[in-house]
C-alpha cells in the first residue's frame, strides 16, 4: 500500500469502527509507512476518537458515512451483530462509489455483506486472530469474484501488517479458518491453564509453573516456525524411548487427545456456519 505509481494517489482507507483490532491494523499500517492522512476512522465514542487522533494522527469521524465517503477501501470493524445495520446505512454510498469492503467480522459471509451493501461490491472477508494486536497474528482471507488484483493487494497489505496471511479460494473454508486460527489462541490459553495447574499440583510454586509454561509454549512455537520440519517429527525428536516424554504422550494418546482436538475444531466450524445463518 505504500508502494504505488507516483502519479496515482495512495488509497484512502476508512475504518468503520475504532476498536482494538482496528487500532492494531492502523498501527501496523503506519509502522509500514502509510501516511496517517490517508487513514480515516469512524467511531461514535468521543473518547475513543480522541485516543485514535492522539495516538496515530489519523482523521476521525463520529459516523460511518462521513469516514467512508470517497475512501478506496472500507474496513468493516464493528461487532457482527450490528454489521448488517451499518452496511445497509452505507448501501447508497457503496452503490455510488463501489469501494473495496474488507470485513473482519466473524460469522458473516461475503455474500451477506455484498447483499447488505446493495450488490456488486468487491468484498474481502478476513478472519484475523487476537495475536494480531501484537503484530503476531495470522489472518485467513477470501475475495469474492468482484475483487480485482489491485484491491487484493490492498487487502493483503492491510492484513499483513498484523501478521501472516493465508488466502482461501472457497469461502466455505472460512469457517474452518475460524475454527483453527480465529478461535485457536483460546485453545492454547486453555492448554497453558492446564499445564500450569498441573505443574502446581506436582509441587511447583505458581510463579515458577507460569514461567515454565509460557516459555515452553513460546519456545515450541518458535521451533515450529523456524523451518518446515513437521510437528510430528519435532515431537519424535524430543520423545526418548521409555523416557518421561513418552510416558506423557502415551497418556495423552490413551485419553484420545487427537479426537478431543478434532471434535473441538469441528464444533467451532459448525458454530461459525450457524452464526452466519443466524445473521442472514
Nearest to 87 by CA among 51, 59, 130, 119: 119
Which residues, in sequence order, are bridge partners of residue 16?
Answer: 42, 76
Domain boundary among 128, 154, 174: 174
Greatest extent of the chain over all pairs of C-alpha atoms, in Å: 69
Q: What is the pLDDT of residue 1?
A: 46
Residues 149, 192 within the same domain:
no
CA 120-91-128 angle, 5° bins: 75
Cell 495512495 belongs to 10
Q: What is the pLDDT of residue 2?
A: 44
Residues 35, 133 within the same domain:
yes
Cell 447488505 belongs to 116
Q: What is the pLDDT of residue 133?
A: 86
Q: What is the dihedral of CA 218, 221, 227, 233, to 10 degrees?
A: 120
Per-residue model confidence as pLDDT tens digits over 62-116: 999 999 999 999 999 999 889 999 999 999 999 999 999 999 988 899 999 999 9
Q: Could you tell me if residue 130 is inside a domain?
A: yes
CA 93-168-264 angle, 5° bins: 110
- Asked if residues 119 and 89 have their Cβ atoms less than 8 Å apart, the reply is no
H-type alpha helices, 180-230: 184-201, 206-226
Q: Could you tell me if residue 179 is inside a domain?
A: no
What's the whole-model pTM score? Answer: 0.88
What CATH number does residue 242 fall under? Answer: 1.10.3730.10
Residues 166, 189 within the same domain:
no
Counting the structural domains of the chain, the total is 2
DSSP letter at 227 equals S
Q: Could you tell me if residue 194 is inside a domain?
A: yes
Residue 102 C-alpha cell reads as: 474488507
- Asked if residues 240 and 45 have their Cβ atoms less than 8 Å apart, the reply is no
The stretches in the chain having pLDDT less than 50 are: 1-6
- Asked if residues 69 and 98 have their Cβ atoms less than 8 Å apart, the reply is no
Q: Could you tell me if residue 267 is inside a domain?
A: yes
Q: Specify whether the backbone of 65 is left (phi greater than 0), alpha (psi in -120 to 50) or beta.
A: alpha
Q: What is the pLDDT of residue 4?
A: 47
Residues 191, 90 within the same domain:
no
- Asked if residues 51 and 22 have their Cβ atoms less than 8 Å apart, the reply is no
Give strand ranges (E) for the chain. Answer: 13-16, 39-42, 59-61, 73-76, 100-103, 122-127, 137-143, 163-167
Cell 503484530 belongs to 135
What CATH number does residue 157 fall under? Answer: 3.40.50.720
Residues 169, 258 within the same domain:
no
Q: Could you tell me the residue range of the domain that residue 121 belongs to?
A: 13-174
Q: What is the pLDDT of residue 221?
A: 96
Q: What is the pLDDT of residue 7?
A: 60
Domain boundary among 116, 141, 174: 174
Q: Could you tell me if residue 195 is inside a domain?
A: yes
Residue 1 C-alpha cell reads as: 500500500
Residues 139, 21 within the same domain:
yes
Taking the C-alpha atoms of residue 63 and residue 148, their distance in angstroms, rounded to an integer, is 28
Residues 115, 207 within the same domain:
no
Amino acid at each position: 500500500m505504500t508502494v504505488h505509481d507516483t502519479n496515482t494517489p495512495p488509497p484512502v482507507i476508512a475504518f468503520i469502527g475504532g476498536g482494538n483490532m482496528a487500532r492494531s491494523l492502523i498501527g501496523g499500517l503506519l509502522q509500514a509507512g502509510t501516511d496517517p492522512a490517508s487513514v480515516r476512522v469512524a467511531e461514535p465514542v468521543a473518547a475513543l476518537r480522541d485516543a485514535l487522533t492522539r495516538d496515530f494522527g489519523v482523521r476521525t469521524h463520529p459516523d460511518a458515512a462521513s469516514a467512508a465517503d470517497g475512501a478506496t477501501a472500507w474496513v468493516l470493524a464493528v461487532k457482527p451483530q450490528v454489521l448488517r445495520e451499518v452496511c445497509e446505512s452505507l448501501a447508497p454510498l457503496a452503490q455510488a462509489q463501489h469501494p473495496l469492503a474488507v470485513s473482519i467480522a466473524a460469522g458473516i459471509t461475503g455474500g451477506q455483506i455484498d447483499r447488505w451493501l446493495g450488490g456488486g461490491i468487491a468484498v474481502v472477508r478476513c478472519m484475523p486472530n487476537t495475536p494480531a494486536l501484537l503484530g503476531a497474528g495470522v489472518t485467513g482471507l477470501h475475495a469474492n469474484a468482484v475483487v480485482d488484483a489491485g484491491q487484493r493487494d490492498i487487502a493483503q497489505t492491510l492484513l499483513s501488517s498484523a501478521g501472516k496471511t493465508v488466502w482461501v479460494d472457497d469461502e466455505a473454508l472460512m469457517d474452518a479458518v475460524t475454527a483453527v486460527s480465529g478461535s485457536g489462541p483460546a485453545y492454547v490459553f486453555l492448554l497453558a491453564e492446564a499445564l500450569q495447574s498441573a505443574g502446581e499440583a506436582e509441587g511447583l510454586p505458581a510463579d515458577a509453573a507460569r514461567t515454565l509454561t509460557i516459555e515452553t509454549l513460546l519456545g515450541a512455537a518458535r521451533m515450529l516456525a523456524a523451518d518446515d520440519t513437521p510437528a510430528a517429527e519435532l515431537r519424535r525428536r524430543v520423545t526418548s524411548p521409555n523416557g518421561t516424554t513418552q510416558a506423557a504422550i502415551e497418556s495423552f494418546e490413551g485419553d484420545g487427545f487427537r479426537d478431543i482436538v478434532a471434535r473441538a475444531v469441528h464444533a467451532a466450524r459448525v458454530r461459525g456456519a450457524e452464526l452466519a445463518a443466524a445473521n442472514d
